[in-house]
Structure 1
Amino acid sequence: MNSHIQLGHDVPEAEEYNKLRVKAGLSPKDIEASRRGLQGSLFIATLRLEGKLIGMGRVIGDGGCIYHVVDIAVDPDHQGQGLGKRIMAEITGYLDHNAPPTAYVSLIADVPADRLYRQFGFEETAPASVGMYRRF
């Protein structure tokens, strides 16, 4: 990892969070919803270069039974440097130290990012279960 890239656990500003999401190919979110959601995170890993948010990931959930890994994003200008792996290593460390043995940890993987998540022990749930969502 570039030695100038700083790993942190700060809550990003809603605007920079959305800017990174869009640049990384994720959908934009409402700014106020982003503020509320970011504040409600159980854990956040951020990567910054000269103060600019270039990567992040977070864990949401109830802090006991259910944990969900979301918002794994790396600025395309900085992809291919192992930054996604660094973010997932931080998240995995948090989960290893905080999630009880009976906790359910999930994520929805976009292809080809599923290859990254497999390196950290995540497996597909199908055919026993499938991911579902509801759009508003």
Structure 2
Amino acid sequence: MTLEWKGSQEELDWDELSKLYLAAPLGHKAPADLERVFSNSMFKCFAYDAGRLVAAGRALADGVDCSYICDVAVHPDHQGTGLGREVVARLVALSTHHRKIILYAVPGSEPFYKKLGFKRMSTAMAIFQNQVQALERGLLNDS
């Protein structure tokens, strides 16, 4: 498998990216919303296999203090091949000059990210638009 890597959204098909998140499965993310969040992210990473988008991720960063890696998705046909690890590694490399790199993970994926050097934060807090749903999905702990 020879992949083409891109760090720019210049020629990105937003509908194709939306379908990747649905297939991954990370849920429905509207193409217009994806365009907005990726445009506002300092770092982006896209992998193509024979012209087809098969992996993506981004990092919101301020250039000095904090880089936040999020929205890492790998198409099911390519999961288990090390592609997700490579997307995260590329985003971490782009973020190395930041004092801290934070990653938001889907519950259950923590062991994967631990292997990549991430550690659980004891002080992270969040307010979600839909707090009830976030509690149900295990994203928040009410205790």
**1:111 CA displacement:** 3.6
Q: Which residue of 2 aligns with 1:112?
A: 108
The CA deviation at 1:88 is: 1.4
Q: Which of 119, 135, 138 is matched with 1:123 structurally? A: 119
Gap change, CA 1:48 and 1:105, over 3 Å in 2: same
What runs of 5+ residues in structure 1 fail to find an aligned partner?
A: none
Aligned length in residues: 128
Partners of 1:110 and 1:71 in 2: CA distance: 10
TM-score with structure 2 length normalisation? 0.79
Match of 1:23 in 2: 23
Q: Which TM-score applies when normalising by structure 1?
A: 0.83
Deviation at 1:131, TM superposition (A): 4.2
Give % identity: 25
Q: Which has the higher contact order (CA 8 A, sep 6+)?
A: 1
Counterparts of 1:20 and 1:131 in 2: how far apart (Å)? 28
Aligned to 1:42: 42
1:32 aligned partner? 32
The CA RMSD over aligned residues, in Å, is 1.8
Equivalent-residue separation in structure 2 for 1:124 and 1:51 (angstroms): 36
Aligned to 2:7: 9
Which structure 2 segments of 5+ residues have no match? 131-143
